[in-house]
Amino acid sequence: MAEQPRVYIVDDDEAVRRSLSQLLEAHDFSVRSFASAVEFLAVAPSLPAGCLIVDVRMPELGGLELQQRLIERNLAFPLIVVTGHGEVPLAVQAMKSGAVDFIEKPFAPDAILASLAAACRRLPATSLGEAPGPAAGLARLSPRERQVLEGLVAGLPNKTIAYNLNISPRTVEIHRARVMDKMGARSLPELVRFALAAGVRPP
């Protein structure tokens, strides 16, 4: 049976975090909660792929601001907005920016579970198993694969990378394919985005 995707809860209300965590863990989700958007954003680049449930109104950084920061950093977390009475226009704004759904408080368990099912369909297929986030994928690379990745981030063609590393272009191609797989990237631009998000910089 495939592992259930991870779910991250970002809400400044401890009671909401606790009740949501209990509900989702009872349905075999792997849950991690955060008391603020700032706290989540600080570790987001290193987190494994997963869905995000976020409150619209929070101190310091609200749900919409968090959504925009994630977009700016090319961090893809399918997002569900939890909103209080009278905040529906904000939730609609979030959906226009790519949120999967918005749910008004108080919410029924079935509503959260249905929204999560929709959010999970937006995750890359690999993330339903053991797909790493960018930083976790980076940690799985061998030293040579890391060198090849740095060359790709620098925009170098395979032949130049091969020359610089004193290996054949074919070997570079093999390493490149392994890097793509370990980082969970489906294209070179996506790989470069993931690498930058994980802190890789050209040598």
User: What are the CA-CA distances from residue 114 to residues 63, 72, 80, 100 (Å)?
Assistant: 20, 28, 11, 11
What is the mean predicted confidence (pLDDT) over 138-153?
Answer: 88
Determine the pLDDT at residue 185: 82
Determine the pLDDT at residue 127: 47
Determine the pLDDT at residue 87: 67
Q: Does the CA dihedral 52-56-62-67 come out positive or negative?
A: positive
What is the mean predicted confidence (pLDDT) over 72-80?
Answer: 87
Alpha-carbon span 85 to 106, nearest angstrom: 9
6-128: CATH number: 3.40.50.2300
134-197: CATH number: 1.10.10.10
Q: Where in the chain is the domain with CATH 3.40.50.2300?
A: 6-128
Q: Where in the chain is the domain with CATH 1.10.10.10?
A: 134-197
Place of tokens 């995707």: 5
Of 49-53, 96-100, 125-129, 145-149, least confident by mean pLDDT is 125-129
The percent of residues above 70 in pLDDT, for the chain, comes to: 90
